Amino acid sequence: MMDSQKKIKLKVNGREHCFTIGDGCGEIPASETLVETIRERLLLTGTKRPCNEGGCGGCTVLIDGKPSLSCSTLTSECDGKQITTIEGLEDPVTHELHPIQQAFIDLDAIQCGMCTPGITLTAKALLDNNPDPTRQEVAEALAGNICRCTGYEKYFDGILLAAKRMRETANNGKGE
């Protein structure tokens, strides 16, 4: 393999995509960011690119379960990674929403919605690791996701409501 060329595999929302990194025809440049690959090549435009400089959290995706800024991540460095975007949260068969998405709808936590995908994914990572967070833990986990409309209050409430519903579901599952 030439130095300037390498093949990578990304698994995005469970589906595998292969790319060749390089300067040639049909290859993707080593400088391409993950948000560009997701939006422009995979056409998953639910991932937003609001500031494109790592300052707002709007482009957050999960890389191997960890919230990551896709505008500040090179695609070429994601070989073998599992990537979850907002499109990956809805059940593809039943169209059931993730509890965080449902809670945001139920409490009308959203306003313009530009920050919502990033907030949803960061919150998912939080709840996957900490099913019963305090308000302070939510604040610290989400501090990198800037919202200018809502004052964050209903987002807080939505994440805590989703956590409660997820715990209840988990407990019901155990009881059966």
Residues that bind other proteins (CB under 8 A): 39, 44-56, 58, 85-87, 89-90, 97, 101, 104-117, 120, 136, 138-140, 142-156
DSSP 61: E
Give the residue with the Cβ less far from other proteins, 62 or 110: 110
Q: Which amino acid is at 100?
A: I
Taking the complex as a whole, how short is the minimal distance between the CB of residue 175 and other proteins, in angstroms? 29
> C-beta of 160: minimal distance to other proteins in Å?
13
What is d(CA 109, CA 128) in angstroms, rounded to the nearest whole number?
20
* Residue 113 CB, nearest approach to other proteins (Å): 4
User: Where does residue 171 rank: exposed (0-12), middle (13-18), buried (19+ CB within 10 A)?
Assistant: exposed
Of 74 and 97, which CB lies nearer to other proteins in the complex structure?
A: 97
- Closest CB to other proteins among 87 and 164? 87
C-beta of 62: minimal distance to other proteins in Å?
13
Nearer to other proteins, 76 or 145 (CB): 145
DSSP lists the bridge partners of residue 62 as 67, 84
Shortest gap between Cβ of 142 and other proteins (angstroms)? 5
The span from the first CA to the last CA of the chain, in angstroms, equals 54
Considering the complex, state which of residue 34 and residue 107 has its C-beta at the smaller distance from other proteins: 107
153 and 138 Cβ atoms separated by less than 8 Å: no
Alpha-helix runs per DSSP H in 23-134: 34-36, 99-106, 116-129
